[in-house]
């Protein structure tokens, strides 16, 4: 059920990334809602759900951008897998791990995207990309991860309520 509820959430996030987020740009960076949703779900759910959200979110992200289809999926799947491998499931009240994962994940994600763009002849100077896009995006993502993580924590709890132990 968590994978299905993610589709409309990710569609809305991808549309907002393509329309509203460019208005919030500092340098070339802006908050990446799809990335934040995927990272949050990776910390809240099991690895299967996280990878499903990462793949779907990446395809939707690329659908609304000029990046080759699959570019964002590759980066998001990598970040979701690493986050799940390092931290597993994190309780929704945790306020320390999500910003750390958002910071590290933003760098990993952007390096992956820049690499794919470079390999497909969309030449972007790595120094400029990292300084003017990755750094502002990292700051935005660290700021916005906590409210998004908490909101998705409520959704995750609603989908997977804790059952009282019967002993």
**Is the pLDDT score of 134 beyond 50?**
yes
**Is the pLDDT score of 1 beyond 70?**
no
**Is the pLDDT score of 125 beyond 50?**
yes
Architecture of the domain made up of 2-158 = Orthogonal Bundle (1.10)
pTM over the 0.75 mark: yes
DSSP secondary structure, 97-134, as one string: HHHHHHHHHHHHHHHHHHHHHHHTT----HHHHIIIII
Tell me what pLDDT residue 165 has.
39
Most confident of 2-16, 20-34, 145-159: 145-159
State the Cα angle at 160 between 157 and 166, rounded to 5°: 110
Mean pLDDT of the chain: 88
State the Cα angle at 16 between 95 and 93, rounded to 5°: 15
Confidence bin at 126 (pLDDT 50/70/90): low
Neighbours of 45 (CB within 10 A): 23
Confidence bin at 97 (pLDDT 50/70/90): very high
Distances (CA, A) of 132 to 29, 89, 110, 118, 125: 7, 32, 12, 17, 10
The residue ranges of every structural domain in the chain are 2-158
Confidence bin at 132 (pLDDT 50/70/90): confident
């Amino acid at each position: 059920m968590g994978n299905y509820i993610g589709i409309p959430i990710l569609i809305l996030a991808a549309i907002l990334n393509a329309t509203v987020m460019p208005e919030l740009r500092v340098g070339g960076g802006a908050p990446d809602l799809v990335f934040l949703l995927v990272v949050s779900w990776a910390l809240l759910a099991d690895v299967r759900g996280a990878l499903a959200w990462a793949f779907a979110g990446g395809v939707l992200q690329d659908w609304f951008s000029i990046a080759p289809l699959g570019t964002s999926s590759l980066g998001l799947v990598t970040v979701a897998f690493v986050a799940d491998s390092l931290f597993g499931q994190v309780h929704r009240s945790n306020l320390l791990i999500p910003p750390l994962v958002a910071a590290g994940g933003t760098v990993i994600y952007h390096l992956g995207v820049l690499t794919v763009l470079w390999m497909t002849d969309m030449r972007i100077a790595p120094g400029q990309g990292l300084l003017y896009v990755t750094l502002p995006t990292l700051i935005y993502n660290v700021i916005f991860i906590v409210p998004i993580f908490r909101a998705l924590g409520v959704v995750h709890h609603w989908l997977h309520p804790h059952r009282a132990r019967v002993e």
